[in-house]
Amino acid sequence: DAGVTQSPTHLIKTRGQQVTLRCSPKSGHDTVSWYQQALGQGPQFIFQYYEEEERQRGNFPDRFSGHQFPNYSSELNVNALLLGDSALYLCASSLVAGRVYGYTFGSGTRLTVV
């Protein structure tokens, strides 16, 4: 049973560029959430997608946007990259009732902005 798959695993970008990160949820899961984890910190919620709609958004600027496809996979897009966007980006999938059943995380995409 495949878990959450994220690609790419590592990425280096230059300031001002744009980046797209991808996530395939665990089989049977229909909800995808994205988190940013800075070095030495706990993950911070970016947003969550369900039924191809953004359900909730954390305290992140509009440079961060996302999409969910009919097969439940998701993309995270970040425009106009800043050095401070360097972090591990984690995708988590769940059933809608994730607050009860928990969330499955991928291994993340390590983004470095230079």
Partner 1 sequence: GDSVTQMEGPVTLSEEAFLTINCTYTATGYPSLFWYVQYPGEGLQLLLKATKADDKGSNKGFEATYRKETTSFHLEKGSVQVSDSAVYFCALSDPSNTGKLIFGQGTTLQVKP
Q: Which residues bind partner 1 (CB under 8 A)?
A: 4, 6, 31, 33, 35, 40-45, 48, 55-56, 58, 90, 92, 94, 96-100, 102-108
The distance of closest approach from Cβ of residue 67 to partner 1 in the complex, given in angstroms and rounded to an integer, is: 18
What's the min distance (Å) between Cβ of 112 and partner 1? Answer: 14
Provide the token pair at 107.
């291994």
Q: Are 89 and 106 in contact (CB under 8 A)?
A: no
CB closer to partner 1, 19 vs 31? 31
Instruction: Please name the residue ranges forming H helices in 60-113.
Output: 98-101
How many CB atoms lie under 10 A from the CB of residue 30? Answer: 14
| Pairwise CA distance, residues 1 & 42, whole Å | 27
- Return the number of the residue (12 or 80) whose C-beta is nearest partner 1: 12
* Smallest distance from partner 1 to CB 99, Å: 4
